Amino acid sequence: MRIIYLDIDSLRPDHMSCYGYSRKTTPNIDKLASSGMIFNSCYTASSPCVPSRASFMSGRFGINHGALTHWGPGGEFQYPEGDGHSEGIPFFTRHLRGAGYKTITFSTFGDRHHAWWYFAGWNEVHTHSLKEGNENADEVNASVIPWLKQHGKDDNYFLHIQYWDPHAFYTYPIEYMEQFKDEPVKPYPDETAIASQQHHSFPRSAAFLHWGNKYPATMPGQIANRSDFKHLIDGYDGGVSYMDKYVGELLDTLREMGIEDEVCFIISADHGESMGEQGIYVEHPSATEAVHHIPLIIKVPGVTQPGQVVDGFVYNVDVIATITDLVGLKIPSGWDGKSFLPALKGEHWHGREYLVMDHALYVCQRAVRDEKWYFIRTYHPGLYLHFDEVILYDIVNDSNQTINVASDYPDVVKEMDHRLSTWLHEQARRPDYKVDPMQKVLETGPWKYLKAEDWLRRLEQAGCHEAADTIKRKYQREALQPAYDG
């Protein structure tokens, strides 16, 4: 079996035309979706980039693989056998090679995030540039297409291709943004919501969209109104469209080789992207719906039924388990993923009853999601002080997650909190369990790309003295001494 896995950074499913988006952003992916299966409810167990791809490589939740943030305490990838390799908890890539599959990656992810464990187990690693994830899709394909022409007709390979274009900053040719200039954007956030967001003073908020003063023409300088919001969405959708063009180039190459209908395609993402939800724009800093909901499209010739849509909940680690099951391998006992191969075959199948997810890079949060409710417990808000300690959203009636109804539904809060506690106990009982990496992050705080004192200076320079004073009062003992002297 020839398997191609398209790993697309920061891709929201609701910005893909195959998921019903009004703009024609993904015509080439749409072709694959129409001949395969679309999963409506796939979620990354841990966000953002490093935790998610550590789950991809390990088949485990972040609490078990250890890399729950990008580096430092709580970001150390845990491998239970030390210097050796575990049979019970193997790397996904090594496990596939055990079935005779050649594993190949075209990705600069490990280089970008110093995630050296990412390079383990592949037959071939192609970093194809030194841009550390800032390369465009054409630069990726410049390495991928020659490989396909030389090796695409081989049998039994797993080819992983990573595209970064939907991740800010958007550096593609500007005409891909301009194609949407006459097309409207989704109604939320409206002018009233954007006006109410102007008092926010956290990173990637409406008034503080950028960390610095440099940004491309594909992005606005702030979100002061709907026109700015449209500028931002046009820029994001332009990145999605540019990426899709090069998916089309892949398909054209396979068609010219005569093997287009013989390749298994899996299309997904590491995480989504906030676009106004919780007042956050063009960022993935929390355990929210916008960040954790990811696309999943699977086409397996002779297995999947064309045009099918699946609604059951699945994790990204379930995708890894399903690929393993698909190629006839046993799912390792130490993995957290569960196969949904019966769903691909059109057999009776139920998704997970609920999901538990977490984030520890910019904030420390864990979330529980079921069909109606989205529950978030905030252990440390980082610079996002507007996050309540306990949050409950009615995701059915409030899909943009604008109103915290925790105080109105104490029984639901209790049930969701119980689910979270149960899940934590289940992980702690595992024989390979070491320590919850969330606790390691909490010891030092979620201060990676931005520290409290750095943002405090930015606020002072912008004249936001009240917001700066709030951060001082909140973190003067934890993060502001002696680095900030007023």
Tokens of 236: 């994001």
Alpha helices in 293-430 (DSSP H): 316-326, 341-344, 410-428
Write the pLDDT tens digit of every residue in 310-355.
Answer: 999 999 999 999 999 999 999 999 999 999 999 999 999 999 999 9
Preceding amide of 48 cis, omega within 30: yes
Query: Within a domain: residue 395?
Result: no
Residue 256 lies in domain: 2-193+216-352
pLDDT band at 484; cut points 50, 70, 90: very low
Place of tokens 């953002």: 48
3-class state of residue 7 by DSSP: strand
Is the residue at 376 inside a domain?
no
Percent of the chain with pLDDT over 90: 90
Higher-scoring residue by pLDDT: 131, 152:
152
Distances (CA, A) of 460 to 152, 224, 445, 482, 486: 56, 20, 22, 17, 9
Q: Are the beta carbons of 42 and 414 closer than 8 angstroms?
A: no
Residue 437: strand, helix, or coil: helix
Give a yes or no: residue 68 inside a domain: yes
Q: Residue 451 and residue 459: Cα distance in Å, rounded?
A: 13
Let me know if residue 471 belongs to a domain: no
pLDDT digits (tens, 9 = 90+) for 95-117: 999 889 999 999 999 999 989 99
Query: Domain holding 325: CATH number?
Result: 3.40.720.10
Task: Tell me which of 5-19, 77-91, 451-465 is least confident.
Answer: 77-91
* Per-residue pLDDT band at 88 (split at 50, 70, 90): confident
CA distance 395 to 414: 17
Residue 412 lies in a domain: no
In angstroms, the Cα distances linking 292 to 218, 248, 374, 391, 427 are 25, 26, 12, 16, 20
State how far the Cα of 203 lies from the Cα of 209, in Å rounded to an integer: 7
Quick one: average pLDDT of 454-465? 94
At residue 483, does pLDDT exceed 60?
no
307 lies in some domain: yes
Of residues 41, 32, 92, the one with CA closest to residue 323: 92
Nearest to 404 by CA among 279, 229, 242: 279
- Condensed to tens digits (0 to 9), the pLDDT of residues 115-129 reads 999 999 999 999 988
Contact residues for 418 (Cβ-Cβ < 8 A; gap 6+):
none
Instruction: For 168-197, write each residue's pLDDT tens digit.
Output: 999 999 999 999 999 999 999 999 999 999
What is the end-to-end Cα distance of the chain in Å, rounded?
Answer: 62
Tell me whether residue 127 is in a domain: yes
Distances (CA, A) of 425 to 46, 78, 392, 418, 421: 18, 19, 22, 10, 6
- 481 pLDDT exceeds 70? no
Q: Quote the number of domains for the chain.
A: 1
**pLDDT class of 80 with cuts at 50, 70, 90:** low
Residue 55 in domain: yes
What phi-psi label fits residue 346: left (phi over 0), alpha (psi between -120 and 50 degrees) or beta? left
What does the pLDDT read at residue 10?
A: 98
pLDDT of 485 > 80? The answer is no
